[in-house]
Chain A
């Protein structure tokens, strides 16, 4: 074999090794993220179905106590009423914590229902109008559903907290062998390069996550001109 042929062969081997390493790196990255989401799911369930249900029983017991108490002295009834209110507030906090970690609706009813809930609750919290358009989607595995949910969640949080947008449009559709997600807002905008350079958090972190699934994140916008975040992710990412 001459030198050039040997060099080509070596170069080819090097490329193949790089590709293998890249695949392995992505597989490991996805595994780490999956462990993290599984843990969040478990804690969210424990909070919602464990602590939450116990608080519910406690609330029933307090109601019973309240009903059995004589009308006098009033002080005792006030104490039970205060305990009932505290129990109710703690139950609501527990539900909220569970949703913040990982909303049970995502696992119970799937991505479409979870996105509709997310859009509605974000709209109520921020006062912005958020429109959601979802075309008929193919069956998606749990990891892809989580990925798309988290990207949407991050973009909506960004639109509400940093961009103070009054209108956000979310579109999710299939484009051939990939899914396309677009979130466009009319907020104060930003420099996409700066926003994406923010490292492991926010939209920069979402871009890294998408890469692990062979996906891409693009941002288009400028200070004062709103922001358009678009993500494409292949259906067959392995």
Chain B
């Protein structure tokens, strides 16, 4: 029985890299169903095509790769995310995994490794290159070393509240939108500010802008 090819979306703002990846994956029998050159387009295309795997870069215009991973993890839980990046530092690896990536590898890895990674991630096994595996093991050994992305420490509900605050909603409006009491919304707001080390809404919005967390 012929196996169904893995359906992949490729997200990378560097055209030459993207074309090279498309060629490489198609050559390996993988069905590239969509391509995107920025974060927002990645989300739109993923929503439209529901790929099995999203192969994404971390540095992208309009919405960072990390935020793309978080949103995909929440909106399309069946879609797996494989990060393909130039960044080798542990901090990027851990934040990508926390955001919901199930694979991480550097861009200059050999083609065979990329194909193996896509299949492995699709099969639900995950794939981490040697550097990523070492970073994850190190973090398990020293969980007290927090690699510093306060946004990543927010719960799903707190992130929801975070985005509503950043969009300019008042606590009352947030309570109404989320069907929770004003008191609960106020508690969420206080915890979000506390975790981000922000003193007020202005600081929170500045944080969101700097991290490219706003649409």
Is A105 close to B, CB under 8 A? yes
Stretch from A16-24, A32-40, A132-140, A212-220 at the B interface? A132-140
**What residues of chain A lie closer than 8 Å to B207, measured between beta carbons?**
139
**What residues of chain B lie closer than 8 Å to A117, measured between beta carbons?**
89-91
Contact flags (1/0) for A76-106 with B, using CB distance below 8 Å?
Answer: 0000000000001001000100000000110
Q: How large is the interface on B (under 10, 10 to 19, 20 to 34, 35 or more residues)?
A: 35 or more
Describe A's contact surface by its main secondary structure.
helix
Docked complex: B132-179 residues within 8 A CB-CB of A: 145, 147-150
Closest Cβ of chain B to A218, distance in Å, is: 25
A134 to B203 CA separation, bound complex (whole angstroms):
19
Is A48 close to B, CB under 8 A? yes
A123 to B132 CA separation, bound complex (whole angstroms):
19
**What residues of chain A lie closer than 8 Å to B20, measured between beta carbons?**
57, 60-61
Number of A-B contacts (CB under 8 A): 89
Name the contact of A53 in the complex, choosing from B17, B197, B211 (C-beta under 8 A). Answer: B17
A54 to B150 CA separation, bound complex (whole angstroms):
33
Are B199 and A138 interface neighbours, CB within 8 A?
yes
Name the contact of B108 in the complex, choosing from A91, A108, A120, A142 (C-beta under 8 A). Answer: A91
Is A141 close to B, CB under 8 A? yes
Total residues of chain A contacting the partner, CB 8 A: 35
Is B92 close to A, CB under 8 A? yes
Is B87 close to A, CB under 8 A? yes
**What residues of chain A lie closer than 8 Å to B194, measured between beta carbons?**
136
Is B68 close to A, CB under 8 A? no
Is A109 close to B, CB under 8 A? yes
Are B148 and A108 interface neighbours, CB within 8 A?
no
A48 to B86 CA separation, bound complex (whole angstroms):
8
Contact flags (1/0) for B191-215 with A, using CB distance below 8 Å?
Answer: 0001011110001101100110000
Evaluate whether A134 and B148 lie within 8 angstroms (CB atoms) in the complex, with A60-B111, A63-B110 already known: yes
Instruction: Return 9 A-B CB contacts under 8 Å, by A number.
Output: A54-B16, A56-B17, A57-B20, A60-B108, A105-B91, A108-B92, A109-B91, A112-B150, A137-B197
Where the two chains meet, the residues of A that have a C-beta atom closer than 8 Å to any C-beta of B are: 48-49, 52-57, 59-61, 63-64, 67, 88, 91, 95, 104-105, 108-110, 112-113, 115-117, 120, 134, 136-139, 141-142
A-B pairs with the 5 shortest C-beta distances?
Answer: A112-B148, A139-B203, A113-B91, A113-B148, A53-B14
